[in-house]
């Protein structure tokens, strides 16, 4: 597929050079929400009250939590007006998820009106991968849904870095992808970019946990030699499922995963193809419910 790309149209200079990447001022700061929420996720003694304390520090997040509790999706019979009641209604897992998603929004909010659409698309994709990953991991030995959701939301950290700090590079990749009808990874390769490596660099800069760092840096190249292969496999599968749904909605043909890698990832997670399709159907039903709720 890459053979059909007109490389003459690519920029003459690298879009991002090593000197720029090593410049601390070019790198975003780890959102404080993620600092707090990842700390709670790592602490098995953390409670809903711990998350409530985090939520109360941010007015926008407080409004989001209260709004979620009052939405028709959660079917509240009476108006919820406090963070405490909203958190009790939503539960620990959902509040933690909303905090993670809000942190992603903070990272993508550059204040540039021209980037709103690309940021929104990337934000939604990361959220959908998190949703699928949680379904795939739930009940699987050695995996848990909350860690999988977190890994899914953060998996494209390299693309987030492109969108937030190197918007020209992001736009050039996106334009090449659309013009040639190829995948994002293929467009990056043609331009000498790799969002996995960018994400890995930022994850290490932020000192994220090893599991998340490996998912961020290797979710397109899972292999059994990875220390956290089952979780990388979960996110690899979730990424494909989410992209297939996005392609279906947009009326685009979907690419096909490499069969050997796909089979290895299914085995690592402890799923067969019918089991995966069952998870896909649950995801599709959940997605329709969220879309109807607005």
Q: Provide the pLDDT for residue 151.
A: 95
Q: How many angstroms separate the CA atoms of 150 and 170, rounded?
A: 23
Average pLDDT, the chain: 84
Alpha-carbon dihedral angle through residues 14, 23, 164, 177, given to the nearest 10 degrees: 20
Instruction: Give all domains of the chain, ordered by start, each with its CATH number.
Output: 24-109 (no CATH), 114-294 (1.10.3210.10)
What value does the mean pLDDT take over residues 175-204? Answer: 89
Average pLDDT, stretch 137-156? Answer: 90
Alpha-carbon distance of 84 to 89, in angstroms, equals 9
Q: What integer is the mean pLDDT of 104-119?
A: 74
**What distance in Å separates the CA atoms of residue 105 and residue 64, rounded to the nearest whole number?**
12
Q: How far apart are CA 239 and CA 254, in angstroms?
A: 12
Looking up tokens 């494209």 gives 156
Of 104, 126, 50, nearest to 134 by C-alpha is 126
State the pLDDT at residue 40.
75
The pLDDT score that the predictor gives to residue 53 is: 85
In the chain, what's the furthest Cα-to-Cα distance?
61
What is the per-residue pLDDT for 210?
93
pLDDT value of residue 3: 39
Q: Which of 236, 243, 260, 89 is nearest to 152 (CA)?
A: 236
C-alpha distances out from residue 67 to 60, 64, 82, 206, Å: 10, 5, 10, 31
Alpha helices of 166-272 — where are they, by DSSP H?
Answer: 167-180, 184-190, 195-206, 210-218, 229-250, 259-269
Distance in angstroms (rounded) separating the CA atoms of residues 156 and 197: 11
**% pLDDT > 90, the chain:** 32
166's tokens = 């190197």
Structure tokens at 104: 């992603």
In tens, the pLDDT along 35-59 reads: 877 877 667 677 788 888 888 888 8
Is the pLDDT at 202 greater than 50? The verdict is yes
Which range is least confidently modeled, 108-112, 149-153, 203-207, 251-255?
108-112
150 Cβ contact list (under 8 Å, min separation 6): 38, 41, 100, 130, 212
Whole-number Å distance between alpha carbons of 215 and 220: 9
Residue 165's CB is within 10 A of a number of other CB atoms, namely 20
Q: How confident is the model at residue 2 (pLDDT cuts 50, 70, 90)?
A: very low
With cut-offs at 50, 70 and 90, classify the pLDDT of residue 4.
Answer: very low
| Residue range 139-154: mean pLDDT, rounded | 90
List, in sequence order, the alpha helices (H) in 71-225: 83-90, 92-108, 116-137, 145-154, 157-165, 167-180, 184-190, 195-206, 210-218
Q: For 235-272, how does the pLDDT look when each residue is reduced to its tens digit (9 = 90+)?
A: 999 999 999 998 888 787 788 899 999 999 999 999 99
Token pair listed for 157? 């950290």
- The sign of the CA dihedral 153, 156, 157, 161 is negative
Integer Cα distance of 178 and 171 in angstroms:
11
CB neighbours of residue 22 within 10 Å: 11
- State pLDDT tens for residues 70-111: 875 666 567 888 888 888 888 888 888 888 888 888 888 766
Amino acid 192: pLDDT: 86
Q: What is the pTM of this model?
A: 0.84
């Amino acid at each position: 597929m890459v053979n059909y790309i007109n490389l003459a149209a690519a920029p003459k200079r690298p879009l991002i050079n090593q000197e720029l990447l090593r410049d601390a001022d070019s790198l975003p700061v780890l959102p404080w929400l993620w600092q707090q929420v990842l700390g709670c996720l790592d602490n098995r003694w953390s409670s809903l009250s711990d998350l409530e304390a985090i939520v109360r520090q941010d007015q926008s997040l407080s409004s989001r939590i209260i709004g979620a509790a009052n939405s028709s999706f959660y079917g509240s019979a009476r108006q919820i007006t406090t963070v405490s009641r909203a958190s009790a209604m939503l539960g620990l897992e959902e509040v933690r998820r909303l905090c993670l998603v809000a942190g992603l929004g903070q990272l993508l909010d550059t204040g540039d009106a021209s980037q709103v659409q690309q940021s929104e698309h990337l934000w939604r994709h990361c959220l959908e991968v998190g949703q699928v990953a949680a379904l795939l991991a739930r009940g699987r030995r050695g995996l848990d849904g909350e860690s999988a959701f977190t890994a899914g939301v953060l998996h494209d950290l390299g693309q987030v870095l492109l969108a937030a700090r190197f918007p020209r590079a992001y736009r050039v990749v996106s334009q090449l992808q659309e013009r040639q009808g190829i995948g994002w990874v293929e467009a990056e390769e043609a331009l000498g970019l790799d969002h996995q490596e960018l994400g890995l660099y930022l994850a290490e800069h932020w000192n994220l946990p090893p599991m998340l760092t490996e998912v961020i840096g290797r979710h397109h190249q899972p292999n059994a030699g990875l220390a956290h292969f089952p979780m990388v496999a979960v996110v690899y599968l979730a990424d494909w499922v989410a992209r297939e749904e996005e392609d279906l909605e947009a009326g685009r043909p979907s690419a096909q995963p490499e069969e050997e890698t796909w089979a290895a990832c299914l085995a690592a997670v402890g799923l067969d193809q019918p089991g995966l399709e069952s998870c896909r159907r649950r995801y599709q039903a959940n997605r329709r419910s969220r879309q109807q709720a607005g």
